[in-house]
Amino acid sequence: MTTALNIKESILDKNSEFNIKRFTLGGIKIERPIKVLNVNNITLKTYEEQKRGLEKYTLFYEVSSTLQESTVNAILDETENGNITRLFKYKRWASPLILTYTLSFNPLRPQILDGLKDLSGFLSYYYAYSSIALLVPNIKVKKSIPVKKDPETGKVKYRPIKIANLDDYIKYVDWSVEKLDSKNNKPIFVPVSLKFGMRDLAKLAEHYLKKEYFNIWIDFESGLPSPQNIGKIRQFLEVFRENERLEDIVVYTTNLNREFESSPQLTLTPGTDPVTTLTGANFVGGNKGKGVPGDNLPKPEKPGELLEYKARLFDPDTYYYLHPKLINDPTLQEILLIKEYNIMLNTLRINVELINQAEYFLENQEIQPYAEQKQMLKEYREGELLKALFSPIKRGFKTKSTKPSELPKVNLLSFLPKKEG
C-alpha cells in the first residue's frame, strides 16, 4: 500500500513533540519543518512578480477549502473542465501544490449525494488534481447551527451538533484510502479532527497504527494550538510512541487561526504557526480565520486589502504579530495592507524562523531553551503554552540517528514587494 513515506532519519526531542524527519516528497528533500504557502488569495500575476524571492524558502504551496455537499454535487454534475477546476480552487501555476479539503457533511449520511458512490467520483477528480500527495478530506464532525437571535443586540446564538461519530469517520477514511490507493504512486495522508474527545482520538490512533497509516494531517478547523489541543495531539501521538512507531510519523497541520487573540486594540498579538512545530508538525499549512457572529467591525475600503489591525507583521524574535503602527516604515505599512503581500511576507518570515528552530535543535539536541527565549511564549496567559508544550515525556526507545547535519544560517528577510505606479 502506497501510504507511507520513506523516513531516512528521525530525530525526536526528548521533552516535547518537536522533531526533524528527513525524507523526500515529490522529489524534494525535506530536512526540517516547512511552512507551506497557502495560495487561496494569491494571483498568478503577484506570484510571478515575487517568484524569485519565494522560491528559496517556499518549497510547497497549498489550496484549502471547506466543501458543502452542494459544492461536491455541483462538481459531479459539471461538464466544463474550467468550471470543475474553479470549484476545486485548483491553481496550476502553484507547483508543487497540496490540496486540503474539509467536508462540512457526513458522506455516509448525505442529504443530496448518493453516499460513498458519488464521493468516489469526487476522489477521482481529486487524485487527478493532486501532484505530490493525497490528503483524505477531513470531515467536520461537529458544526454550529443558529438557534436564537437576540432582538436587542442582533447577535445570534449557536449550538453545536454532531455530524459524524468515530465509527463513521473511520469507515469513511478506510474507504477513501482504498479508493485513492488504487494504481497510486503518491503518499496518502489521513485526517485527524481535533473535535473528537480524548478517548476517541486514542481509538483513532490505535486504528491508524493497526492500518499503518503513518502520514497524518491535522485539521485545526480555524482553531488554535491551545493547551487543550496540544494535549489532544499528545494523546494521539502517544499511541505511536508506546508502540515505537513515532519515528515513522509525518504530520501536516493546516487551517489554524493565525493568532491566539486578535482585536483592533492590541498592538501585539500572539502567533500560532511557530508553536505547531513544537506539537510535532513537519508541515505547517495555511491559516483560516474564524468568523464571529454579530461582528460589526468595518470592512476594508478596497478589495484585496486588509483592515489595519489585520495587516500585521510576524516577528520571529518574539512570536508576536506587530500592528502596522509599530513599524517605522510607511512603505512597508502600505504593503502589509495588501492581503497577497501580507500572506507571502509572513510565510517567508515564518519559514526562516522554522529554519532557526531546526538549526538550534540540531546543534543542541533540545528545543526548550530556544522556545523559552520567545517573549510571547513566556507572556501568553502566564506561560501556559510552555507548560503544555514541554511536559516531560517518557521515552522508551532511541531515535534512528542523532547525528546532526548542517542547515543554512539565515537572517530575517527584508522582503519588500514591488509597488505599481
- pLDDT at residue 145 in the model: 79
- pLDDT at residue 54 in the model: 78
- pLDDT at residue 2 in the model: 54
3-state secondary structure at position 92: coil
pLDDT digits (tens, 9 = 90+) for 112-123: 888 888 999 999
- pLDDT at residue 148 in the model: 79
Strand partners, 22: 9
- pLDDT at residue 52 in the model: 79
Strands 283-284, 250-254: pairing is: parallel
Mean per-residue pLDDT, 334-348: 91
Across all residues in the chain, what is the average pLDDT?
A: 88
Mean per-residue pLDDT, 168-188: 94
- pLDDT at residue 152 in the model: 77
Strand partners, 218: 192, 253
- pLDDT at residue 393 in the model: 56
| pLDDT more than 70, % of the chain | 88
Helix (H) or strand (E) segment spanning residue 187: none
pLDDT grade for 60, boundaries at 50, 70 and 90: very high
pLDDT grade for 417, boundaries at 50, 70 and 90: very low
Domain segments of the chain as ranges = 10-294+308-389
pLDDT: which is higher, 117 or 247: 247
Grid coordinates standing for 212? Answer: 499503518
pLDDT digits (tens, 9 = 90+) for 23-49: 999 999 999 999 999 999 999 999 888
Strands 37-38, 97-103: pairing is: unpaired
pLDDT digits (tens, 9 = 90+) for 280-327: 999 999 988 765 433 444 555 555 557 887 889 999 999 999 999 999
- pLDDT at residue 416 in the model: 45
Strands 142-149, 156-162: pairing is: antiparallel
Check pLDDT > 80 for residue 380. yes
Of the candidates 255, 28, 211, 247, the one whose C-alpha atom is nearest the C-alpha of residue 132 is: 28
Residue positions counted in the chain: 421
Cβ–Cβ < 8 Å for 335, 345: yes
3-state secondary structure at position 197: coil
Mean per-residue pLDDT, 120-143: 94
| pLDDT more than 90, % of the chain | 70
Check pLDDT > 90 for residue 415. no
pLDDT: which is higher, 57 or 63: 63
- pLDDT at residue 157 in the model: 83
Could you confirm whether domain 10-294+308-389 is CATH 3.20.20.105? yes
Cβ–Cβ < 8 Å for 107, 116: yes
- pLDDT at residue 301 in the model: 52
Of the candidates 419, 61, 5, the one whose C-alpha atom is nearest the C-alpha of residue 250 is: 5
Strand partners, 145: 159
